[in-house]
A and B are shown apart, each in its own frame.
Chain A
Amino acid sequence: MDCRASRDGHAVVVEVEGRIDGATAGDLENSMMAEIEDTDKVVVCDLNGVSYVSSAGLRAILVVAKRLSKQAVDFSICGLNGPVAEVFHISGFDRIFKVYEKREEALAEATANSGQA
């Protein structure tokens, strides 16, 4: 599992690759929290490179999302594919998060909502 962030103004895109399972979910949670700064108002989590997610991975994403929600950060997810999309759907995670097909859509929507340029 690999996790890296890129920043554009007040928005940050966290790009994740590989497997998010019981052995890597803790690393993802720590990495994401470390990548997000106090000034970030928009966080997009791009899971296009993720081939597998288990409930441990969902839990890690939910922990991060709860924290961001308290900080009034606009959080969305994009790039769900095949098996990962299925797990999100079964667990209802595709309904509690804003989910977009493409990163550009997520950024445009979030930026418009947050009023940030």
Chain B
Amino acid sequence: MSKVERLEIDSQVENLTKIEAWIDSFCESHFPAVEFRHKMHLVIEELFMNAVMHGYGGDRKDGPIWLALHPLPEGAALVIEDDAPPFNVLEDGPAPDTQSGVEDRPIGGLGIMLVRNMADHVSYDYDKRNRITTVFGRGPPPGGGADMDVEGSAAAGLQGSSP
């Protein structure tokens, strides 16, 4: 199986293209990730933009962001870390509104909802850095068993994985 790929990058929106190329390169070397390529692009963008615009406030261009792609037997795990003040965007971000009409619809709050929909597992923790772990790919969860297996193996593979 391919190895863990890491990328350290500054908090600049322009770096999105580098991240996209990095994801594509990983998918080419780790075939089980290919079917999740689009979802991984979307999730990494949403989380990266969140770190740039909210974590680092949108005006800091040199905020470090650490990315890691972990190959899994049936997919991949994507970990993003930043050095911004602790903030659990999964719990404390704005609630998405998917019901209001055009005039009343608030602009924002959709990114994290897309992340939750696109990834099979999403979690946040803080240990000197904000860290969001996402997992792509799992078998059908018969009674939740397969779900537990994939998440468990991903978490095990990610122990001590800070770049």
Q: In this assembly, does B1 line the interface, its C-beta being within 8 Å of a C-beta of chain A?
A: no
Q: Which residues of A contact B14 (CB under 8 A)?
A: 23
Give every chain A residue within 8 A of B111 (Cβ-Cβ): 54-56
A97 to B101 CA separation, bound complex (whole angstroms): 8
Partner of B38, one of A21, A52, A65, A96: A52
User: Closest residue of chain B to A69, judged by CB?
Assistant: B102
Contact B107 A54 (CB under 8 A): no
What band does the interface of chain A fall in when counting residues whose beta carbon is under 8 Å from B?
A: 20 to 34
Task: Please tell me if the beta carbons of A65 and B102 are within 8 angstroms of each other in the complex.
Answer: yes
Cα–Cα, bound, A97→B7 (Å): 38
Chain-A contact segment, one of B40-48, B78-86, B126-134, B140-148: B40-48
Number of A-B residue pairs having CB atoms within 8 Å of each other in the complex: 63
Q: Is the interface of A mostly helix, strand, loop or mixed?
A: helix
A58 to B16, CA, bound (A): 17
A96: contacting residue among B46, B101, B113, CB under 8 A: B101
State A91–B105 Cα separation when bound (angstroms).
11
Please name all residues of chain B whose beta carbon is closer than 8 Å to the beta carbon of A91 when the two chains form the complex: 96, 98, 110, 113-114
Chain A stretch 30-77: residues in CB contact (< 8 A) with chain B: 52, 54-56, 58-59, 62-63, 65-66, 69, 75
* Cβ contacts B38-72/A at 8 Å (1 or 0 each): 10011001101100000000000000000000000
The answer to whether B102 and A62 touch across the interface, beta carbons within 8 angstroms, is: yes
Partner of B46, one of A54, A63, A83: A54
Cross-chain contact B113 with A52 (CB below 8 angstroms): no
26 CB-based A-B contacts, threshold 8 Å: A21-B16, A21-B45, A22-B45, A23-B13, A23-B16, A52-B42, A54-B49, A54-B111, A55-B111, A56-B49, A58-B110, A59-B108, A59-B110, A62-B105, A63-B107, A66-B102, A66-B103, A66-B105, A83-B38, A90-B113, A90-B117, A91-B98, A91-B114, A95-B98, A96-B100, A97-B102
For the complex of A and B, the 3 pairs showing the least CB-CB separation, nearest first, are A92-B98, A55-B111, A55-B110
Could you list which residues of chain B lie within 8 angstroms of chain A, going by C-beta atoms? 13-14, 16-17, 38, 41-42, 45-46, 48-49, 96, 98-103, 105, 107-108, 110-111, 113-114, 117
Q: A87-B114, A90-B114 are in contact. List 17 more A-B contacts (CB 8 A).
A: A23-B16, A23-B17, A52-B38, A54-B45, A54-B111, A54-B114, A55-B110, A58-B110, A62-B102, A62-B107, A69-B103, A87-B42, A90-B113, A91-B110, A91-B113, A92-B98, A96-B101
Interface residues of A (CB under 8 A from B): 21-23, 52, 54-56, 58-59, 62-63, 65-66, 69, 75, 83, 87, 90-92, 95-97
